[in-house]
Amino acid sequence: MKAKHRRLVAVVAGVAILGTAAILALFAVQDNIVFFREPTAVLAGKVKPGQRFRLGGLVEMGSVKHEKDKATVDFKVTDLTNAVPVVFTGLLPDLFREGQGVVAEGKIDDKGVFHADTVLAKHDENYMPKEVVDALKKSGKWKEYADGAIQDAR
């Protein structure tokens, strides 16, 4: 075999090995990928029941209800257009409250209720997760004032 052919075989074999490694790596991390969705996208059916994702938006005013066991909390996450009901059992972050930005991670059931196993809240009065801000701006519902307050722009 000529040197030219040996190099070609080596290059083809190298590309095949790298391609196989990349495919195996993608399959390995596939279960750990968690996408961000806003309530409007969830209600539009862009998420299948049982699929793990992050739901972001604002905690809807007047929607927080503590169950009798005091460990379970029901609330709604809104993007100021639509709202998704959320159920969470556990300790909420100290800064969790109505009207504030929140990102919840979990799965939605076939009834449209999001079962969160993690809830993240903003860490000061001027912060909201980037994904939530982008979703609100995209929907045209974002309006920020000089003092950092956020208001429905409808």
> pLDDT (tens digit, 9 = 90+) per residue, 29-42?
776 667 888 898 88
Q: Give me the pLDDT at residue 149, please.
A: 45
- Grade residue 147 by pLDDT with cuts at 50, 70 and 90: very low
Residue with tokens 């209600």: 43
Quickly list H helices, the chain.
3-30, 39-43, 130-139
Tell me which residue of 41, 96, 36, 38 sits closest to 66, measured CA to CA: 96
Q: Where are the beta strands (DSSP E) in the chain?
A: 35-37, 52-59, 65-66, 72-78, 83-89, 101-108, 114-121
Average pLDDT, rounded, for the chain: 83
Do 27 and 41 have their domain in common? no
Q: Is residue 51 part of a domain?
A: yes
CA atoms within 13 Å, Cβ hemisphere of 93: 18
Q: Give me the pLDDT at residue 71, please.
A: 87
Do 109 and 124 have their domain in common? yes
Q: Is residue 46 part of a domain?
A: yes
| Containing structural domain, residue 3 | 1-33
Q: How many domains does the chain have?
A: 2
Cross-strand partners of 89: 72
Do 21 and 75 have their domain in common? no
Do 60 and 114 have their domain in common? yes
Q: Phi and psi (nearest 5°) for 148?
A: 90, -5
Do 47 and 82 have their domain in common? yes
CATH number assigned to the domain comprising residue 130: 2.40.50.140
Checking if the pLDDT of 102 tops 60, the result is: yes
Contact 151, 114 (CB under 8 A): no
Do 8 and 52 have their domain in common? no
Q: How far apart are CA 109 and CA 24, in angstroms?
A: 30
